[in-house]
Amino acid sequence: MDEIQHSKGSESIWPTLWRGWRRRCPNCGTGQMLRGYLTVRDSCPVCREDLHHHRADDGPAYLTILIVGHLMAPLLMVVFTTFRPEPLVLFTIFGVGCVALSLYLLPRLKGAIVAFQWVRGMHGFAPHT
């Protein structure tokens, strides 16, 4: 299992963020980072990397709101001005779209934030010596 371990100092940020986006361990990329929908495991089940140091807090929720709002608001305006649908139809379609996109993005953004903290050595994720 030692061959899976990476040195955080030599780790590139983009592959690590991609592992986090896929909700995988930022160290090995194999083990599941999340237990359930949003609960981060204390350690990776494959490489035993400690993950309990993370401080994602409200960051994933803020980023989700930011992304969903910036995607849906212009789309709502375009659809309303172009097609003029009934208000109930418009509300239903965009309500379901906002909820679905939020549910999709939230765990992925949480994984990416934890991976970012891991690769930068933040909040107790110290580099290996």
Measured CA distances, 24 to 51, 74, 81, 91 (Å): 11, 32, 42, 35
The pLDDT assigned to 126 comes to 74
pTM of the predicted model, to two decimals?
0.87
Contact between 40 and 56 under an 8 Å Cβ cutoff? The reply is yes
The pLDDT assigned to 124 comes to 85
The pLDDT assigned to 111 comes to 97
pLDDT tens by residue, 108-120: 999 999 999 999 9
Query: What phi-psi label fits residue 26: left (phi over 0), alpha (psi between -120 and 50 degrees) or beta?
Result: alpha
The pLDDT assigned to 78 comes to 97
Which of the residues in the chain have pLDDT under 50?
1-8, 128-129
Of 83, 128, 112, 101, the closest CA to residue 13 belongs to: 112
